[in-house]
Amino acid sequence: MVTRTRSTNDMTKSVKRRYYSWPVSCSNLTEQDNGLATCNTYFGRSKTITDEVTPNFRKRSRAGELIFNPLTVTSTYVFAGGSTDMKIINTATSCSPPIHTYTRLTGSVYAVWSSIFINHTVLDLVPSERISNLTTEVWTGLLAERQKGYANFVESFAEAEKTWRMVGSPLENARRFVRDFRRSHRQLKQSLLLKLTNGKAIDVVRRSRGYARALNNFAAAEWLRFRYGIKPLMADVAAGIKACSEVYDFGPKRYTSRNAKQIVSTSRVRTDLIDGSYTIGSTCAATSSVSIRAMCVDSFRMTPFDKVGLTFHNLVGVAWEMTHYSFVVDWFANVSDLIYANIPRANCVYLGGCTTTKWNNNSFYFCDKFLATGSTVTSAPTDTVTATNVTTVRIPRNLGHGGLVLRDDFRLDTWIRASDAIALLQQQLGRVSFN
């Protein structure tokens, strides 16, 4: 393999600031142009591409060979936005009568000033260890997805009794709700009678909690019945219909599996830059996003059994699926993905794959305060600086076995995952008496 690098660069110190003063003296009240100041930061864009040259690439591709080459693309953008026109006013006492003097600044005032102290660097907020763990999570999830059909009938058959029990439980849930509600009403009524006959003080609020407990237990049971009873059953029926209606080829074909996840992190960094009698408040609002995409290509013969999940690897993995609260463990760690990733796929030939990681780091610099000792400032600099770095790295991957990691995002902030967690907690708390 021959490595080649191509690059373009138009980064220059093209951003400037113009400086004026008035008056020059008591006898000369005209505005004087004191010239330009150049920024220390390079503005513009640059791009570098590094990859490997594969001999006879087109010929081999036309012959059906899959080629995954290492690739790195790095793009840097630094731009100054907006323009400033500001005055710093003083009072001259040497003239009679006293007159006001001022300094006027125009152009990229903040960009030039801040470049004296900072280099407008792009902040990278995502640590490499977190990216490495997420890459393992994504690749392990991809391996688990290989030869995956529309459903997992092996798991559905194993949990058929539990599923039908959940589907047919609304009357039982309603009966339990009415029973708990009546019991709470009876207890509250007895407490009120005791108060009327004996004058004994009671906590009505505590006695009334039984109503809320009955309602919460009913809502939690109905939500879990829908999520893990009705919804999976409807999905299995739809998958069976779809699998039976498709046309199948007897020869092996190529199938692509994909998986992807993203990290987004934000931060604000503030610094006071002091230049003589001037104080410039500089703020950097930074955002870093890292997206990791994985893909692989396999060759195998797809059958209706594969589509509905009646496969060997699903038969082996059903033991974990039947474990009590295994789905809760999978919220926090990729145990299920690791198990399925390491189960052999029958008649499945791995042709190649890769992971592509894209960093997009953006830092936005602006002035949030400007002070001039002994002077009056009519306005602060309003121009800004935007610095962006986008890097894409593609790495070919062997099949491997994946790895066990804690999930980067537990997704407890999404409403459906939060609802599942609350319903499960409510079922456990429902066993505790509040009376």
Q: What is the pLDDT of residues 54-106, one digit of tens each?
A: 888 888 888 888 889 999 999 999 999 999 999 988 877 677 777 778 888 99
Kind plus residue range of the DSSP H or E element containing 89:
strand 84-92
Place of tokens 């009519």: 378
State the Cα–Cα distance between residues 114 and 270, nearest whole angstrom.
12
Residue 410 and residue 420 in contact, taking contact as beta carbons nearer than 8 Å: no
Burial class of 131 by CB neighbour count within 10 A (0 to 12, 13 to 18, 19+): middle
Q: Are 39 and 112 in contact (CB under 8 A)?
A: yes
**Cα–Cα distance measured from residue 284 to residue 92, given in angstroms and rounded to the nearest whole number:** 37
Least confident among 73-87, 100-114, 192-206, 403-417:
192-206
Quickly state the pLDDT bin for 435 (edges 50, 70, 90).
very low
Residue 280, number of CB atoms within 10 A of its CB: 23
CA distances from 407 to 82, 332, 389, 413 (A): 42, 5, 27, 14
The answer to whether 277 and 372 have CB atoms below 8 angstroms apart is yes
Q: What tokens does 304 get?
A: 């209706």
Q: How far apart are CA 100 and CA 218, in angstroms?
A: 77
Read off the DSSP letter of residue 121.
P
- Is pLDDT larger for residue 22 or for residue 255? 255
State whether the Cα torsion 123-128-132-137 is positive or negative: negative
Structure tokens at 81: 């936005």
Backbone φ and ψ for 32, nearest 5 degrees, come out as -115, 135
In this predicted structure, the answer to whether residue 347 has a pLDDT above a threshold of 70 is: yes
Find all residues with CB under 8 Å of 137, minimum gap 6, and list them.
261, 334, 337, 405, 407, 408
Indicate the burial class of 325 (C-beta count within 10 angstroms; 0-12, 13-18, 19 or more).
Answer: exposed
- pLDDT, position 189: 60
Q: How far is CA 394 from CA 48, 69, 256, 330, 391, in A?
A: 14, 8, 17, 28, 10
- Supply 194's token pair: 């005791």
Q: What pTM was estimated for this model as a whole? A: 0.78
Q: Rounded to an integer, what distance in angstroms lies between the CA atom of residue 426 and that of residue 432?
A: 10
- 52 Cβ contact partners less than 8 Å away, ≥ 6 residues apart: 1, 2, 3, 4, 69, 70, 71
Summarize the confidence of residues 237-244 as an average pLDDT: 80
Ranked by mean pLDDT, the top range of 20-34, 143-157, 364-378 is 364-378
Q: 208 CB contacts (<8 Å, ≥6 apart)?
A: 184, 188
Strand order in the sheet with 2-9: 2-9, 44-53, 71-81, 384-397, 349-372, 278-300, 253-275
Structure-model confidence comparison of residues 87 and 431, the more confident one: 87
Q: What are residue 273's phi and psi, to 5 degrees? A: -100, 125
d(CA 47, CA 5): 10
Q: Are 253 and 302 in contact (CB under 8 A)?
A: yes
Tell me, what's the pLDDT at 434?
43
**CA distance linking residue 161 with residue 214, whole number of Å:** 26
Give per-residue pLDDT as tens, 203-240: 554 555 555 666 667 677 667 777 777 777 777 788 77
193, 184, 252, 261: which is closest to 218 by C-alpha? 184
